[in-house]
Structure formats: C-alpha cells, structure tokens
Amino acid sequence: MAVWNLGSINADLVYTVPHLPAPGETLAAQELNRYLGGKGANMSVAAARAGSHVHHVGAVGADGAWAVERLLEYGVDTRYIGYSSDPTGHAIIAVEAGGENLIIIYPGANRSLDAHEIWQALGNAQAGDTLIIQNETNAQVETARLGSEIGMRVCYAAAPFDAEAVKSVLPFLDLLILNEVEARQLQEATGSAPADLPVSDVIVTLGSKGAEHFDTKTGENRVYPAVPVTAVDSTGAGDTFTGYVLSGLDRGLPMAQAITMATRAGAIMVTRHGTADVIPDLKDVLEMSQG
Ligand code: RIB
C-alpha cells in the first residue's frame, strides 16, 4: 500500500532564543538555522523513514526546487509537487531552552494548490491506501471527499487547529489526530468528546504524557505513555508521531503497535534540533525499543 499526503512544504527559519518573546518585545536570537519543514513535508519524511512508500501532493514556488530535491533525497515521491507563481511557504520558528516554541507561518504556494493536479495525482491511488491531510493547504474538503470515494483510509491531523476546518472534513474521515487542547476546542465546537466523534479512530496526543486512542466502534480507549526524554526542541514532534502512526497502519501493523512506534519516534524527535531533516528513521526507533 502507500501513503498519499496533501501536504504543506515550508522553509523553516529556526531562531534559538533565550525565551519566547512577549508582545512588543524585541529579542536577539542566539542562533539561526534553516531546515526543510511544513507539517506536510515533516509527515511525508516521517512516513518514508518509517518504511512507507510516500507520495507528496503539494506545491512550492520558483524558489522551492531545493525543498523538492531534499524530499526526493529523503525517499519521498515528488512527482505530484507542482510549481506555483506564489513563493514557497515558510515558517519563522522561535525555540527556547527546554524546547518550547512559537511558530508563524506564511502559507505561500501551500494555499494555491491546483485542484485538477490533486485529482490527477489521486487518480493513481488505490483503495486501501492511506491519505493524510493537515490544515496548511487549500482543497482539504474536496481531497478528503475524493479519498473517501476511492476507498482510502482518510486521516486528518488537525493542525494548525481550526474547528471549522475539522468539522468540514469530519464526514470523510477514518482517523483524526489532534492534541489535548484541540480536542477540548473541538468538543466545544461540536458538542462531542473524542469518543463520540463520527470517526472510527481518534488519537489525542498528550505531550509529555503520551497519547490516547479512542476506538469509537468498540467504545474502547487506551493510553500509551510517553518515553521519558530530555527535550531540546518540540518542533515537528507531533508531525513525526503522525507520520509514524500512518506508516505503521499502512504497513499493516495493529493500531497499538503503530502508536507505540510513533510515541518512540516522537520522543527521539524532541531530543533533536530541527524539523524534517532530523526526523528519526526506523533503525533509531527500533534501537530505542531494544534499549
Ligand atoms: O509542526 C512543525 C511545522 O509547523 C514546522 O515545520 C513549520 O513549517 C510549521 O508548518
């Protein structure tokens, strides 16, 4: 099977700061690093490093050839990434000691995807393939609907969170992944707790506490504890978790095993500085399991 990702691609400009800036504050960064990022690109790289065949559907601007080349180098199929007249998306990310961050995104080409090119790309997908969508591109609802019609496992990572965006794709979803705060916000917007949502599987990530899976078909839920580590940068850890869960499911692992692997991959990720470029591969995750 394969993972298809309607996903953002960003240049991440990561500023190491003594503390996250307060409103109105001017702050000198201690360091600046540039990485490949975007929640979509991060998930594609994570799923590819976890062992899946990944097709990324997205766009960059004329300034984005480096990002496409890097995705290709990381094992992602880039044939369905188009070139837009808008510039490549970018993110300004401040990271303080201890790993907490603050992110501003400029969507650029990520929000000008051509619907026809998406339909053409998904024309090559098969029933049973996995489709992942996040909230950093346009055409989310139409793509989720098409994926559902094809018979794909349709997944949504509700980040950056917007309750209306989640509500619009809900009818087409098989799997929803969101964090604790987002789950509460979604409950306020829909009146439904995670266990009552009309989606077969819901995973709520709990940060340093791990993740909780709700199987809404059986009514069962299970908490997967986090692996204790010393965090230096939480950026991209959620995307890494999502990519690993999807890859696990796509490769036929049971949900419990997919989430356990994803929890370990996310734990390794918070010990590293950077985004897509530093996502752990399966070997790192398996070594952690043995250690
Ligand atoms: O989740 C982290 C990502 O959010 C970064 O890579 C940044 O580009 C933004 O999309």
CATH code of residue 170: 3.40.1190.20
**Other CB atoms within 10 A of residue 220 CB:** 10
Q: What is the pLDDT of residues 182-239, one digit of tens each?
A: 999 999 999 999 999 999 999 999 988 999 999 999 999 999 999 999 999 999 999 9
Q: For residue range 110-123, what is the model confidence (pLDDT) as tens digits?
A: 999 999 999 999 99
pLDDT digits (tens, 9 = 90+) for 139-163: 999 999 999 999 999 999 999 999 9
Q: For residue 28, is it within any domain?
A: no
Q: How far is the CA of 39 from the centre of ligand 1 (A)?
A: 5
253 lines ligand 1 (CB under 6 A): no
Percentage of the chain lying above the pLDDT 90 cut: 97
Q: What six digits make up the tokens of 182?
A: 């987002």
Q: Which residues are known to be catalytic?
A: 239
- pLDDT for position 291: 64
- Please tell me the predicted confidence (pLDDT) of residue 102: 96
- Whether 193 maps to a domain, the answer reads yes
Q: What is the pLDDT of residues 82-95, one digit of tens each?
A: 999 999 999 999 99
- pLDDT tens track for 234-281: 999 999 999 999 999 999 999 999 999 999 999 999 999 999 999 999
Q: Is residue 121 part of a domain?
A: yes
Per the CB < 8 A criterion, the answer to whether 161 and 37 are in contact is no
Residue 117 lies in a domain: yes
Check if 12 has its Cβ closer than 6 Å to any atom of ligand 1. yes
In short, whether 89's Cβ falls inside 6 Å of ligand 1 is no
Supply the residue whose CA is at minimum distance from atom 1 of ligand 1: 236
For residue 78, the model assigns a pLDDT of 98
Please give the tally of structural domains in the chain: 1
Whether residue 12 lies inside any domain: the answer is: no
**Residue 38 CA to ligand 1 centre (angstroms):** 4
Q: Is the pTM of this model over 0.95?
A: yes
Domain that holds residue 251: 39-83+108-290
Classify residue 89: in a domain, yes or no. Answer: no
The answer to whether residue 27 sits within a structural domain is: no
Specify if 5 maps to a domain: no
Report cis status (omega within 30 of 0) of the bond before 160: yes
Parallel, antiparallel, or unpaired for β 130-134 and 153-157?
parallel
Task: Detail the DSSP E strand segments found in the chain.
Answer: 3-6, 10-17, 31-37, 54-60, 76-77, 81-83, 89-96, 101-106, 130-134, 153-157, 175-179, 201-205, 211-215, 220-224
